[in-house]
Amino acid sequence: MTVSRTYDVAVIGGGVVGLAIARGLAGQGRRIAILDEGDVARRASRGNFALVWVQSKGLGMARYGAWTTGSAALWPGFAAALREETGLDLGLSQPGGYSLCLSEAELDARRAAMMRMHNQPGWEPVPWEVHDHARIARAMPALGPEVVGGVFCPLDGHVNSLRLFRALHASATARGATYLPDHPVREIAALAGGGFRITTAQAPIEAARIVLAAGLGNAALAPMVGLAAPVRPQRGQVMVTEKTAPFLAYPMATLRQTDEGGVMIGDSKEEAPEDEAVGPGVLAAMARRAIRMFPLLGGLNIVRSWGALRVMSPDGFPIYDQSETAPGAFLVTCHSGVTLAAAHSDVLAPMIARGALDMSVAAFSARRFDVPSPA
């Protein structure tokens, strides 16, 4: 006979999203399990660009802009708490960030998109400015002559995202959560008297509540508990140079110098990818653009490149949901899991612990994708 193990909450998925939620749920005597796949799993959490980014977030959904800004504001306290709990310095830096433009047409389009976003009904103001070449060059003298200007937002920043991943894991387990690798979930059944029975590759698990935080895996799991997670993969390729003396004072949308000295160049947006492979065509295009922005990059060696799959919803915004047919089942997915880690841990997890999502996150329900069929 197989004996099932019982928890208060089973979080399915051990990427940055699942770990941030598990960390926020753990403690106060709650028994939390994190069910994850093995080492071969595809994880956006291991391949991202590590921006804590505000400036481009929210065109099409004002609430997402405010949610992102709120998370960025929580980040300093969040990083300090993780450091205290785990001893890991996440290298958080929030000096503001740039989206650089290589032509007047690019800059006009960027400015227009920012204005459209800021003119939306319900938009909570976020500071931003257009800076010309001279102003950016004063802050970053290595700037190439082709950069005509850029959009600056003082709330933008970046972090060491692999250390974030490790710190979330260490913090969640230190708070008492049980991490169960090699537990790919195959089936979830809502029990008649409440709670869930989860079939994994190992012995089954029972939990009073579940949180689906399995990234792209949520698409298959959500319908098992009356939820929908219409997420698709979108590949991003990234490369990193050898370490060099600091010359990038600010992170940029596609370029940043890490706290260890390497320069990350990113990140493509490729639809319908078959896998996480990198291709020389995409990498070369990204490198050419980066060198036009900062010509000295042309003298640095690329030491590593990789591809990873973003977890994209149809409109690009997060999906946070709770099941109507299987009470106690929650869904959390997004494509900015680094930026939103603080909000997931400190704001969303407490809602799940209380048993219901607040109205403040109702805009993120997947019900926004339900459209009446034509008569």
Q: Point out which residues bind ligand FAD (CB under 6 A).
A: 12-18, 35-37, 41, 43-45, 47-51, 53, 184-185, 213-215, 217, 221, 236, 238, 267, 308-311, 333-339
Beta bridge partners of 256: 264
Give dist(CA 113, CA 119) in Å, integer.
10
Beta bridge partners of 209: 9
- Whichever of 104 and 187 has its CB closer to ligand FAD, that residue is 187
Residue 203: CB atoms within 10 A of its CB come to 11
- Whichever of 72 and 353 has its CB closer to ligand FAD, that residue is 72
Q: What is the DSSP string of 165-228?
A: HHHHHHHHHHTTPEEE-S--EEEEEE-TTSSEEEEESSS-EEEEEEEE--GGGHHHHGGGGT--
> Minimum Å distance from CB 151 to ligand FAD?
16
Q: Which residues contact 328 (CB under 8 A, 6 or more apart)?
A: 194, 195, 196, 208, 209, 210, 355
- Whichever of 268 and 322 has its CB closer to ligand FAD, that residue is 268
> Minimum Å distance from CB 243 to ligand FAD?
20
Residue 145: CB atoms within 10 A of its CB come to 9
> Minimum Å distance from CB 356 to ligand FAD?
22
- Whichever of 202 and 295 has its CB closer to ligand FAD, that residue is 202
- Whichever of 181 and 295 has its CB closer to ligand FAD, that residue is 181
Q: Measured in Å, how far apart are the chain's first and last C-alpha atoms?
A: 53
Asked if 79 contacts 339 with a C-beta cutoff of 8 angstroms, the reply is no
Per the listing, tokens 């800076």 go with: 131
Give dist(CA 62, CA 37) in Å, integer.
35
**How far, in Å, are 15, 167, 184, 373 from residue 200 at the CA level?**
18, 26, 5, 37
> Minimum Å distance from CB 87 to ligand FAD?
23
> Minimum Å distance from CB 364 to ligand FAD?
14
Cite the DSSP H helix spans in 87-150: 104-118, 133-139
- Whichever of 146 and 259 has its CB closer to ligand FAD, that residue is 259
- Whichever of 18 and 262 has its CB closer to ligand FAD, that residue is 18
> Minimum Å distance from CB 357 to ligand FAD?
17
> Minimum Å distance from CB 169 to ligand FAD?
11
> Minimum Å distance from CB 314 to ligand FAD?
16
Residue 179: CB atoms within 10 A of its CB come to 18
- Whichever of 114 and 338 has its CB closer to ligand FAD, that residue is 338
Give dist(CA 17, CA 165) in Å, integer.
10
The amino acid sitting at 168 is L
- Whichever of 202 and 360 has its CB closer to ligand FAD, that residue is 202
Q: What is the DSSP string of 281-337?
A: HHHHHHHHHHHHH-GGGGGSPEEEEEEEEEEE-TTSS-EEEE-SSSTTEEEEE-S-T
> Minimum Å distance from CB 236 to ligand FAD?
2
